[in-house]
Homo-oligomer: A and B are copies of this chain.
C-alpha cells in the first residue's frame, strides 16, 4: 500500500484563512512599500498625511502616511531611510519588521505589499506590467537539510482575489524574493524552482509575517526591469523606476477603489 499523496494545503499556508471575519467590509488597510519613490505617488493619490508623532519606537526610521479614502482607513508604511547611509531601508529584514510593527499598532483587515520588481520575459513579463502574486517564496535561503529546505523556501499563498484580478485585468504569477538586486546562478535555479515570473526584495518576508499573524495579504508588483534580458538590472531598474512607479500607483489605486465597500471573501 502506498502512502497517500501529500496534500498541498498541508505545506502551503493560505493568507485567506484569516482569523478576521471574511464577510465583514474591509475597514483598515496597511500598504507596505519599501522605497519612498514608490510610495509618494500613492500618498498623493489618496491625499494622505505623514504622522508627526510616530507610532513606532524611537530609533526606527519607519514612516506612516495615513488618511481616509472612500470609506477606508488607509496607511502607507515605508521603512524609511537608513539613519547613517540615507538610502531606503529595502530588503527582507526591514520589511518583516515594519509589517510586524504595523500589524501590532494598526490591526489592519488587509495588508497590501506594493512595489517594483524584476520580471522574466521567458514567463511573459514586460516592463510596466503589474502582477498580483498568487504565491510568494524565497530564492536565497538554501538550507540543504530535509524539511529545513522547505522552511528556507517559505512558500506562501497570497490572499485569494479572483474577482479583483479579473475585473482589473491584472496579470497573476508567482513572486520570488531575495535580498540581492542581482541574480547569481544559484538564485536563478531557485527562482526557476519557485516558477516565478517576478522577483523582488520584500514580498516573501511580508508574507511570512502576515501568515504568522493571520492577516490577509495581497502582493502588487510592477516590472521595472527584465531579469533575463540583456541590460544590467541596476541600470534598467534606475532608468525605469520613475515611470513604473506611476503605473504601480495607478494599479494600487485601482485595487483600493475595488476593495472599497467589499469584504475579503468578495475580492
**A residues engaging B (CB < 8 A)?**
10-11, 13, 57, 59-61, 82-87, 89-93, 96-97, 100-101, 104, 138, 140-145, 147-148, 150-152, 178-182, 184, 186, 205, 208-209, 212-214, 234, 238
Contacts and interface: CB of A to CB of B under 8 A. Distances in A.
Contacts of A104: 57
A11 B214 CA distance: 38
Given A10-B84, A93-B205, A93-B209, 6 more contacts: A59-B214, A87-B148, A93-B96, A140-B178, A141-B180, A142-B180
B143 A90 contact: yes
A208 B180 CA distance: 17
A213 B90 CA distance: 18
B147 A182 contact: no
Q: Which of A151, A213, A214 has the most CB of B within 10 A?
A: A151
Contact of A96 (B57, B96, B234): B96
Contact of A208 (B11, B93, B152, B208): B93
A140 B85 contact: no
14 contacts: A59-B213, A60-B212, A83-B212, A90-B148, A92-B92, A97-B100, A140-B179, A142-B182, A144-B181, A144-B182, A145-B238, A152-B180, A184-B184, A184-B186
Q: What 3 A-B pairs have minimum CB-CB distances, sorted nearest first? A: A142-B180, A141-B179, A93-B96
B234 A147 contact: no
A90 B151 contact: yes
A243 to B, nearest CB: 18
Nearest to A184: B186
Nearest to A205: B93
Number of copies: 2
A140 B59 contact: no
A104 B85 CA distance: 25
A131 B138 CA distance: 30
A118 to B, nearest CB: 13
Given A148-B90, A212-B60, A84 B13 contact: yes
B179 A152 contact: yes
A219 B35 CA distance: 31
A11 B93 contact: no
Given A97-B97, A152-B179, A91 B141 contact: yes
A13 B85 CA distance: 11
Contacts of A214: 59
A140 B180 contact: yes
